[in-house]
Structure 1
Amino acid sequence: MQLTTRSRCRAVVAFARRRPGRVVAAVLAVLPLLVPVAGCGTRLPDDAFTARATRTPGTTGTTGTGGTASTGGTTGTTGTTGSTGSTNPASDTGVTPGEIRIGIVTSLTSPVGSEVFSGPRYGAQAFFQALNDRGGLHGRTVRVVTCDDGGSGVGNQDCVHRLIDQAHVFAFVSGSVLDYAGAPYVSGKAVPDVGGQPIGTAYDRWPHLYGIYGSGAPRDGRSVGWNGTLYQSTEVFRFFKQRLGATSAAVVAYNQADSARYAGQLKSGLEAEGYRVLLQTVDFALPNFQAVAAAVRADGSQLLFDAMDTRGNAALCRALDESGVTVAAKVTNVQNWSESVRGDYQSSPNCRNALWATSSSLNYEDEQYPEVRDFRTAMARYYPDRAGLLSAWELEGWAGAQWLTDALDSCGGAPTRSCVEAFMNRAEPYDAHGLILPASFVPQPPPTGPTRACLNAARWQDSAQGGKGGWVTQVPSMTTNCFDVPQLPYKP
């Protein structure tokens, strides 16, 4: 069958919903977020890839920075389309004749560090700053109100209440939080949440929540996915099988429940694609990565996947380099597709140059695309200090802001939440002007067989960008890099 939904580049975060009281527990809480998730592609009919959204004139804006709940300034005053600010009605909550208030919630000061979740927020802020500088939207500037939930469920609920009940935001956009405990309140108040990162399962449960990768689940608020079941697709494994001729892979995990569970999920996906799989487990406190390197050498594993944090990945790469072990690909995910690779893997150049990342979005370094150039130009203008921190997640945050802006633009001079949601729920898939693979939120029955799935892929190369190093796209087009793959059920 053809399933109109996006695959889920998400983590199993059961451990994260506890209240870790130690740094070790806090790091473990985010482990699944930092591992490559199978099926970071899209599942849509072939004709979806010829469908393009109508482009809006504006592409940038302003936002608040840091803090608990902060309000960004506004710069533009003249609309780029339609009516002027003086004739606009106050058409809904958070909408005045001259302004639209949008909220962003981020786990900025979580125990695992400020950079783990911050990327989408900066991308969205840069988008709205540029939009406002170019005149705003229909005579209105976008005022972004940000809130840092500290990486806790209680903090997330507090942020949600602050932004809805006190700041009276019209919608949320490009959220990235460790524990979306406030999701039931957001959905209960019918506040659109557009383009968030589906780290947990909220975006496959609650109506009014629209994750950046889309969803074909019922999203009726009663259960996650299809009666508590979600599905992973295997296009990532199929891609490496066909591209590199790989038939064997190693999966490395910590001796911790969530890490082990996700490693098992990776193993199932690999075996479904016919790989011989070597599963290695290390102690979280005292990991023996030299033993893993020896096992990978003895096995002759061609690919290396893991269910570990960045610290573990970097240490594993050091062990591989020190032991002279090479693999065809050390596969990571979209959350680790960033400039920080040059520092995180500084002492392991061989392993660094074997890093591959897969995603459902364009490579943030691929400036052959005008939309990527717009993103990078805006980031350089508004956040020049983040040049060494750019990431795929920042680009996806920008794409989320584009999505919400296009939905608002479809409403003309009198935007309402119901109008925005009609745009989000339409049958035509959306691709953020080519930045992401086409996504939709049309509910589908649970998958019963193979489906078409697509993905983007890039590889880190020290020789790129005049020797500075960078991520180099490895496929001609992510919309044609597609495979007919099985859907494997799992319980989140």
Structure 2
Amino acid sequence: MQLTAPPRGRAADAPPRRRPGRVRMLMSVLALLLPLLAGCGTRLPDGAFAARATPTPGAGSPGAGSPASDTGVSATEIRIGIVTSLTSPVGSEVFSGPRYGAQAFFQALNDRGGLHGRTVRLVTCDDGGSGIGNQDCVHRLIDQAHVLAFVSGSVLDYAGAPYVSGKGVPDVGGQPIGTAYDRWPHLYGIYGSAAPRDGRAVGWNGTLYQSTEVFRFFKQRLGAGSAAVVAYNQADSARYAGQLKAGLEAEGYRVLLQTVDFALPNFQAVAAAVHADGSQLLFDAMDSRGNAALCRALDEAGAAVAAKVTTVQNWSESVRTDYASSPNCRNALWATSSSLNYEDEQYPAVHDFRTAMARYYPDRAGQLSAWELEGWAGAQWLTDALDSCGAAPARACVEAFLNRAEPYDAHGLILPASFVPRPPPSGPTRACLNVARWQDSAGGGRGGWVTQVPAMTTDCFEVPQLPYRP
């Protein structure tokens, strides 16, 4: 199952804030999981990278002369934890992407000699998609494995977040599935946050904000003025669909809201309604099973839309097979994100990611995804924070890097993000995003995601901030 709501982007000069593709709502794992989202780094040449990884001259072994400087650090290694809901009831591929991206990054780093003579040793834990399992994982990694930090987490229920934060363990580059990354200090989600994060309440006294740049993009790019929103007859699904509807209406769209029964969805009726309405865009608050079935119904009914808008979580190679029976709908898939397209190897950081994935995980060629790229970006963020500490990596130093005023972009992989607290939004904000479209004709007929904007850092809009309570 994958997530299917439109995430947001942001500009370098705008504070990070909540967006329809970023805030996630947790639903019964037997039902569905819905997303409810949203100075730049420079890439060092390989020579500089290798030079940093070279052991101290005259040292008898890597790290010699570099004593332990904090929990999880020895003379020869740095222990980092990754928690993933790998065997959750919603399927092993739903949350696995960031973990593979981070693992590939650190394998490549270690093959180059590690960081200041130390090997990065990853300690992974599968929480099974449950809150109890998550608490067990964070206790094992903190109390037994004694990790320095967490990185690139992707979990269904981050029940262990209060313990992680209470122990002062930095959690870097995690996917904000839920609201933990907008509540707890020491937690640093991959998209940044401008909320106080004082542990008392989510966001600003329980309020978060969504912005409307995805809707503005399609309004200006495709001239769209009508949209359909499809949801299950489930409270969280309906609530999120209502927020999609509010965002669309704020941008002047006429909205058709359709609800289907989760157990026995009548997608044929939805397809007929969309066709009769002439909806130009299609958004939904459903899982990938529902999306694939809806697409089949749309193709069978001859109901074409200009864009079926999905998110970074559904931006993957798997759509080639997931939508095999609905090629027309598949070619109407558009995805939005706050990160680069993993197909765009003209960017050095994307090329490095693709090279490492092909080397260490060649069997995942058919599962490559934007989430894997963001897992790599999270690992890059933590590595740059560790590198700023020199030969004495420590939690305090890592967090000083994360909390700096200068936004961070993971060597151009993500839109600039920071964790500087700001007052709640009070008016329009400049927001940026990346957009791609699936095209069967791409890649010499093999199919692929084709970026639809010149650059995500310049694809920006002045848009309103709509408050909501998660």
Q: Take 2:165 and 2:430, find their aligned partners in 1: how far apart are those partners?
A: 31
- TM alignment of 1:162-181, pairs within 5 A: 162-181=140-159
Task: From 25, 29, 34, give the equivalent of 1:26.
Answer: 29
Q: Take 1:29 and 1:223, find their aligned partners in 2: how far apart are those partners?
A: 25
**1:160 — aligned with what?**
138
Deviation at 1:4, TM superposition (A): 1.4
**1:384 — aligned with what?**
362
Deviation at 1:368, TM superposition (A): 1.2
Deviation at 1:151, TM superposition (A): 0.1
Q: Take 2:351 and 2:252, find their aligned partners in 1: how far apart are those partners?
A: 39
**2:40 — aligned with what?**
52
Question: Which residue identity lines up with residue 122 of structure 2 in the other structure?
Answer: V
**1:254 — aligned with what?**
232
Are 2:183 and 1:201 aligned? no
Task: From 49, 53, 67, give the equivalent of 1:79.
Answer: 53
**1:352 — aligned with what?**
330
SS in 2 for 1:96: coil
- Cα separation, partners in 2 of 1:120 and 1:258, compared to 1, 3 Å: same
The Cα offsets for residues 59-109 of structure 1, whole Å up to 9 and x where unpaired, read as 9x9xxxxxxxxxxxxxx9992487861111200000111100000000000
Deviation at 1:366, TM superposition (A): 0.9
Deviation at 1:7, TM superposition (A): 3.6
Task: From 83, 104, 107, give the equivalent of 1:105.
Answer: 83
RMSD of equivalent CA atoms: 1.9
Task: From 16, 21, 33, give the equivalent of 1:5.
Answer: 16
SS in 2 for 1:460: strand
**1:396 — aligned with what?**
374
Structure 2 alignment gaps of length 5 or more: 1-10
**2:264 — aligned with what?**
286
**1:436 — aligned with what?**
414
Q: Take 2:42 and 2:189, find their aligned partners in 1: how far apart are those partners?
A: 20
Paired residues of 2:32 and 2:286 also in contact (CA < 8 A) = no
- TM alignment of 1:413-432, pairs within 5 A: 413-432=391-410
Q: Take 1:324 and 1:86, find their aligned partners in 2: how far apart are those partners?
A: 68
Q: Take 2:225 and 2:55, find their aligned partners in 1: how far apart are those partners?
A: 54
The Cα offsets for residues 33-71 of structure 1, whole Å up to 9 and x where unpaired, read as 3xxx46x3xxxxxxxxxx322445679x9xxxxxxxxxx
Q: Take 2:359 and 2:365, find their aligned partners in 1: how far apart are those partners?
A: 10
Q: Take 1:429 and 1:410, find their aligned partners in 2: how far apart are those partners?
A: 15
The Cα offsets for residues 269-299 of structure 1, whole Å up to 9 and x where unpaired, read as 0000000000000111111111111111111
Q: Take 1:422 and 1:458, find their aligned partners in 2: how far apart are those partners?
A: 35
Instruction: Tell me the TM-score normalised to structure 1 length.
Output: 0.89
Task: From 438, 447, 466, give the equivalent of 1:460.
Answer: 438
- Cα separation, partners in 2 of 1:125 and 1:14, compared to 1, 3 Å: closer
Deviation at 1:135, TM superposition (A): 1.0
Paired residues of 2:32 and 2:287 also in contact (CA < 8 A) = no
- Cα separation, partners in 2 of 1:12 and 1:86, compared to 1, 3 Å: closer
Deviation at 1:28, TM superposition (A): 1.8
Question: Which residue identity lines up with residue 225 of structure 2 in the other structure?
Answer: T
Instruction: Tell me the TM-score normalised to structure 2 length.
Output: 0.94
SS in 1 for 2:53: coil
Structure 1 alignment gaps of length 5 or more: 16-24, 41-50, 62-75
Q: Take 2:177 and 2:97, find their aligned partners in 1: how far apart are those partners?
A: 14
Q: Take 2:80 and 2:353, find their aligned partners in 1: how far apart are those partners?
A: 20
Q: Take 2:55 and 2:182, find their aligned partners in 1: how far apart are those partners?
A: 34
Task: From 92, 104, 109, give the equivalent of 1:131.
Answer: 109
Paired residues of 1:255 and 1:282 also in contact (CA < 8 A) = yes
SS in 1 for 2:398: helix
Identity %: 83
Runs of 4 or more consecutive aligned structure 1 residues displaced over 6 Å after TM superposition: none
**2:449 — aligned with what?**
471
SS in 2 for 1:113: coil
Are 2:305 and 1:317 aligned? no
